[in-house]
């Protein structure tokens, strides 16, 4: 036994030393100043602090900090300070050491990074929604203090995703969900393209293992054909570039599994019809940054001499980089096989920035204050949102989501200044991005010298002059004309400021009236008033009172006193239950108060079996998606204690996984053919006499499927149809789609989720 323990300890020690040496070798190959001594001290300190502790996968815990440090160093490009912080990032959280101990041994800068990482430890999210939003605010605030904190956090999340297989299913869903919803868009925004792609693929792999394997298998099977097509396309280009004497590297960049799946889902296409599986990337060597632009356009010219250019798909991100610092020249040309191929042209510098993000900017920085980093502008926007957080975690995360993952446009002010905005941004978005007061008093704009209204959508290259008036006051419905989180946040803050005096006046009127009539100012009474006047909350009630839109009178006294009595009778049973929604005027308080939910004990660590007992399912279905047995689904324990089922791809499920991780439960369908579920199928094809009759015969007679609705429309020679059927599982839907595709003239048949 003792020999076994000694052998295990020796194996562990060898594994740890090999991993650490690999980290050190990568660091020594980098361009950073070599500070091996402090890295060695940090490694020994962390190794001692985590001694004897193992990860869930069974390996020594120190392997995780080493892996995070390696990602930070070799995949993001950070230096010795960040490597030390990564090695030490769990010490304060998991051991008896304090931030002060770290500062004493390693100095204030490393201690500050470790403190920042400790603040946001355990992932972004805790158990409660308010805590989740608060922890995310901490993450973003820490970013503005030192961007390296969030870069190390990205490395930490990437290693956790790479080792996610050892976690319980519900934990995997939670972590994969928040990764896809928050971390991947954040990585994109920070310019960490390689990490963003891997995070998406790993999340997808754990949420849809079967589909991931199937797409990976098809990619592998098509590799030989793909390589031949790429070679036929690339050889003439490479010959031209060799003639020009350009030093370059040319390669095919394959679409990620996740992006292929996304395209299949959004376009309703089978894998075989995804023709843009790869793009060609040309990375050229250039020591002189001032010559990069001319070399890019020389390569562009060489390619367009060979192949036909797509007229609307050239993207110049050299003169105007993306907000995450991305620079490149993209063009799309027709390949020899008749399919469009995207070509990305970058210098080595641009390529490193595209793959490693802002960390690579530092490597190429020409001098102090060279130009304000695009990141600083983004962080300024984020700070606006942080200063005025949404009341609910879901709203807060959705507000951030608006800006995290958006394609961009660039517009010009009359003075020629560039303003970067998300695609779809309007005049109001621009006005609020310039200044809150400009937004609050905006009446119209001149776009390219033409007068346009507030809701006008802007396009890249527009010159925009925002027009204001002191008499203009903002309206709540303006939010419908905005796509940026910054504009919506500033509008809400402005509206609150304008409303506050009126709300205060109404609150004083309400308090005084209740006291005069001996009615308690309680939740039951206020809820009753909200129901009578059809308002959502106390603030809205007080606002309408203060604005004299409603009035308090004797007709209210009887129902309010009855509500007060009900409140006393309940002995506080319902006082902790939030009352949601509007109440019906005239109903009694007892009828309005929801009964306390009967919470079943649901073990989130075990797989929850979805079944129907005596005709009553042990789950509920929301209206946001329509899963059926056989679909990849997850459960969410709602406020009523019920297991609410969502498809893993449902947009609402993405939010729930990110914001309410502790309520997520892994689920499995039991074989139960008694219940029927609604499925939506879309068809299209070439119209001909009798085709509809054949489709209906197959559905109703041959397959005996219950058809609920059919919408069909023919235009010229083409027909489109939407079909709704009731089925017991997904196999029936798949068999039906295969059968319909076998009917002469039908070109496409797919399920719509």
Order across the sheet with 442-447: list the strands. 450-452, 442-447, 464-468
Distance between CA atoms of 253 and 247, rounded to whole angstroms? Answer: 19
- Token pair belonging to 503: 């709300």
**Residue appearing with tokens 């998406």:** 200
| Pairing mode, strands 408-412 and 418-422 | antiparallel
First-to-last alpha carbon distance for the chain, in angstroms, is: 57
**What are the C-alpha distances in Å from 355 to residues 113, 194, 296, 325, 349?**
23, 5, 18, 11, 10
Order across the sheet with 315-316: list the strands. 248-254, 278-284, 340-347, 329-334, 315-316
DSSP notation for 365-400: --STTSS--HHHHHHHHHHHHHHS--SSHHHHHHHH
Mutual orientation of helices 427-434 and 485-516 as an angle, nearest 10°?
A: 80
Neighbours of 10 (CB within 10 A): 10
Q: What does the radius of gyration of the chain's CA atoms come to, in whole angstroms?
A: 30
Cβ–Cβ under 8 Å, residues 427 and 419: no
Q: Catalytic pick from 93, 242, 549, 713?
A: 93
The question of whether 632 is a catalytic residue gets the answer no
Neighbours of 720 (CB within 10 A): 15
Q: Catalytic pick from 12, 22, 94, 265?
A: 94
Cβ–Cβ under 8 Å, residues 176 and 164: yes
Cβ–Cβ under 8 Å, residues 135 and 572: no
Count of alpha carbons within 13 Å of 332, Cβ hemisphere only? 13
Cβ–Cβ under 8 Å, residues 178 and 164: no
Phi and psi at residue 526, to the nearest 5°: -65, -40
> Which residue from 286, 282, 179, 330 is spatially nearest to 658, judged by alpha carbons?
179
| Pairing mode, strands 418-422 and 329-334 | unpaired
Contacts of 431 (CB under 8 A, 6+ apart): 438, 439, 442, 445, 454, 466, 468, 487
The question of whether 592 is a catalytic residue gets the answer no
Distance between CA atoms of 440 and 442, rounded to whole angstroms? Answer: 6
**What are the C-alpha distances in Å from 567 to residues 533, 537, 579, 628?**
20, 19, 13, 43
Neighbours of 546 (CB within 10 A): 21
Cβ–Cβ under 8 Å, residues 58 and 165: no
Any idea what DSSP says for residue 594? Answer: P
Give, for 694, the enclosing helix (H) or strand (E): helix 691-696
**Residue appearing with tokens 């632009």:** 293
Q: Among positive and negative, which fits the CA dihedral 121, 123, 124, 125?
A: negative
Count of alpha carbons within 13 Å of 572, Cβ hemisphere only? 0
Helices (H), 30-72: 36-49, 63-70
Q: Buried b vs exposed e over 55-77: b needs ≥16 C-beta within 10 Å?
A: eeeebbbbbbbbbbbbbbbbbbb
Contacts of 703 (CB under 8 A, 6+ apart): 732, 735, 736, 739
Q: Which residues are catalytic?
A: 93-94
């Amino acid at each position: 036994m003792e020999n076994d323990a000694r052998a295990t300890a020796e194996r562990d020690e060898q594994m740890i030393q090999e991993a650490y040496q690999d980290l050190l070798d990568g660091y020594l190959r980098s361009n950073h100043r070599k500070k091996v001594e402090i890295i060695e001290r940090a490694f020994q300190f962390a190794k001692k602090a985590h001694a004897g502790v193992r990860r869930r996968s069974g390996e020594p815990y120190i392997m995780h900090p080493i892996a995070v440090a390696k990602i930070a160093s070799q995949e993001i490009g950070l230096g010795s300070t960040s490597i030390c912080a990564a090695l030490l990032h769990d010490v304060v959280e998991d051991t008896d050491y304090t931030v002060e101990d770290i500062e004493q041994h390693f100095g204030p800068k490393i201690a500050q990074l470790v403190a920042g990482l400790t603040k946001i430890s355990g992932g972004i999210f805790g158990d409660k929604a308010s805590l989740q939003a608060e922890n995310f605010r901490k993450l973003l605030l820490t970013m503005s203090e030192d961007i390296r904190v969030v870069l190390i956090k990205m490395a930490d999340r990437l290693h956790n995703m790479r080792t996610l297989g050892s976690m319980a299913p519900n934990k995997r869903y939670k972590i994969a969900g928040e990764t896809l919803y928050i971390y991947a868009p954040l990585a994109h925004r920070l310019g960490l393209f390689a990490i963003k792609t891997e995070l998406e693929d790993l999340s997808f792999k754990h949420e849809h293992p079967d589909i991931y394997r199937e797409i990976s298998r098809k990619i592998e099977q098509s590799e030989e054909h793909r390589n031949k097509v790429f070679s036929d396309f690339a050889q003439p280009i490479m010959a031209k570039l060799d003639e020009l004497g350009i030093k370059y590297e040319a390669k095919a960049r394959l679409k990620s599994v996740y992006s292929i799946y996304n395209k299949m889902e959004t376009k309703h296409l089978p894998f075989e019809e995804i023709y843009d599986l790869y793009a060609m990337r040309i990375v050229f060597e250039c020591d002189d940054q001032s010559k990069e632009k001319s070399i890019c356009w020389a390569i562009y010219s060489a390619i367009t001499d060979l192949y036909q250019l797509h007229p609307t798909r050239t993207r110049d991100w050299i003169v105007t980089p993306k907000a995450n610092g991305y620079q490149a020249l993209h063009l799309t040309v027709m390949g020899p096989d008749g399919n469009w191929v995207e070509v990305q042209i970058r210098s080595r510098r641009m390529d490193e920035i595209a793959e490693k993000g802002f960390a690579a900017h530092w490597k190429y920085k020409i001098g102090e204050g060279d130009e304000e980093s695009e990141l600083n502008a983004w962080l300024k926007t984020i700070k606006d949102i942080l200063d005025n957080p949404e009341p609910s975690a879901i709203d807060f995360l959705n507000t951030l989501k608006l800006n995290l993952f958006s394609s961009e446009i660039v517009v010009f002010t009359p003075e020629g200044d560039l303003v970067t905005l998300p695609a779809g941004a309007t005049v109001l978005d621009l006005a609020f991005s310039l200044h809150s007061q400009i937004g609050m008093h905006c009446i119209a704009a001149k776009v390219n010298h033409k007068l346009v209204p507030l809701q006008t959508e802007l396009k890249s290259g527009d010159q925009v002059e925002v027009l204001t008036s002191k008499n203009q006051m903002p309206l709540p419905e303006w939010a419908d004309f905005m796509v940026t989180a910054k504009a919506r946040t500033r509008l809400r803050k402005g509206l609150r400021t304008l409303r506050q005096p009126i709300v205060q006046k109404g609150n004083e009127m309400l308090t005084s009236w209740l006291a005069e009539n001996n009615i308690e100012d309680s939740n039951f009474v206020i809820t009753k008033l909200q129901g009578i006047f059809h308002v959502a909350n106390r603030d809205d009630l007080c606002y309408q009172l203060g604005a004299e839109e409603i009035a308090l009178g004797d007709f209210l006294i009887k129902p309010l006193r009855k509500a007060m009595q009900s409140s006393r009778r309940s002995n506080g049973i319902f006082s902790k239950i939030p009352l949601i929604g509007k109440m019906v005027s005239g109903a009694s308080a007892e009828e309005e108060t929801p009964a306390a939910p009967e919470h079943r004990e649901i073990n989130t660590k075990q797989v929850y079996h979805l079944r129907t007992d005596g005709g009553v399912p042990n789950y509920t279905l929301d209206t946001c998606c329509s899963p059926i047995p056989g679909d990849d689904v997850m459960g969410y324990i709602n406020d009523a204690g019920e297991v609410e089922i969502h498809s893993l791809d449902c947009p609402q499920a993405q939010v729930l996984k990110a914001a309410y991780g502790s309520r997520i439960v892994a689920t499995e369908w039991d074989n139960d053919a008694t219940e029927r579920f609604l499925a939506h199928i879309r068809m299209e094809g070439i119209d001909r006499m009798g085709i509809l009759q054949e489709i209906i015969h197959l559905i109703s007679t041959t397959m005996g499927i219950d058809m609920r609705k059919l919408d069909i429309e023919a235009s010229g020679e083409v027909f489109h149809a939407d079909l709704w059927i009731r089925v017991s599982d997904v196999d029936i839907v798949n068999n039906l789609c295969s059968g319909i595709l076998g009917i002469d003239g039908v070109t496409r048949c797919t399920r719509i989720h």
